[in-house]
Amino acid sequence: MERASSNDLKLVSMSLHSSSQIDAEALSRRVHELGDWFHNLNLHGVPTAPNHFLGDFPNIKWNKIAGEIPQELAGATVLDIGCNAGFYSIQMKRRGAGRVLGIDIDDRYLNQARFAANTLQLDIEFEKRSVYDVESIQGQFDYVFLMGVFYHLRYPLYALDQVIKKVAGKLIFQTMLRGSRVAREWEPDYSFWNEDVFLEQDFPSMYFIEHKYSGDQTNWWIPNRGGMEGMLRSGGLRVLSHPEEETWICEPGDVKRGSEYVVDLELRGAL
């Protein structure tokens, strides 16, 4: 499929709105032309992924998360990392967020996101950018979304520590989980000779996928609940709530040691 520019997508969206009534057939055709969608968006009654294998996704997650976020965001800034087709960016913009920036590395998803935002007449920025490159984005954001990205990363904890630098207010974080869903209290230290603790099924852990999982070679690391919550805390985040099995709402706590972030201390060998 020939790659569409953002101007092309805007022109198509404008043409679909040229009459007083939305041309559902033309809209549906354009949705199809933009390839397979992972986000099921409602574009003026036209669903983008009506046969999603997870159901009405990501609405099924958003319905459990939405109550944790104010209905009126009054110009808040939002960074949506791994934005896909822009579902969460759209939701935040509809609540009155000011600057909303969605980033992704997949051109297909970015084309879909731009088309959706233009079709819904929402002013949202989208950029092609890696999660590993978020530090180059100027400033911090009131809300940072990192949804469905963590387990696709070969270097997940490094990426998470970089993302934390962008969080001024809250991080809304979601990852696939496998293994134990039980979060337990653990001792702060164990003897070198204690190997039994690693045999506990609830012990914080993360599974490495050498080849593929669910047919996807980018599914690299999948944590259990204890492992994920431990990593969030290790980066200096405070967990405020756990509104959905795979989702946490966090805020910065002790994200710096002295005047530096943990990741910067680690990279220069000072941690």
User: Could you tell me which residue, 7 or 196, shows the higher pLDDT?
Assistant: 196
Q: How far apart are CA 265 and CA 49, in angstroms?
A: 43
SS3 180: coil
Numbers of helices and strands, H then E, in the chain: 8, 13
SS3 85: coil
Q: Which of 27, 32, 33, 3 is nearest to 13 (CA)?
A: 27
Q: What is the mean pLDDT of residues 28-48?
A: 95
Q: How far apart are CA 236 and CA 232, in angstroms?
A: 7
Task: Please write the tens of the pLDDT for every residue from 170-212.
Answer: 999 999 999 999 999 999 999 999 999 999 999 999 999 999 9
The reported pLDDT for the residue numbered 10 is: 58
- Which tokens sit at 189? 């230290």
Q: Predicted confidence band at 22 (pLDDT cuts at 50, 70, 90)?
A: confident
- Which tokens sit at 160? 């998470």
The reported pLDDT for the residue numbered 1 is: 37
Give residue limits of the domains in the chain.
130-267
Task: Please write the tens of the pLDDT for every residue from 147-168.
Answer: 999 999 999 999 999 999 999 9
The reported pLDDT for the residue numbered 18 is: 47
SS3 51: coil
Q: What is the mean pLDDT of residues 210-237?
A: 97
First to last CA, the chain: 48
Residue 219 has pLDDT above 70, yes or no: yes
Strand partners, 261: 256
Q: Predicted confidence band at 5 (pLDDT cuts at 50, 70, 90)?
A: low
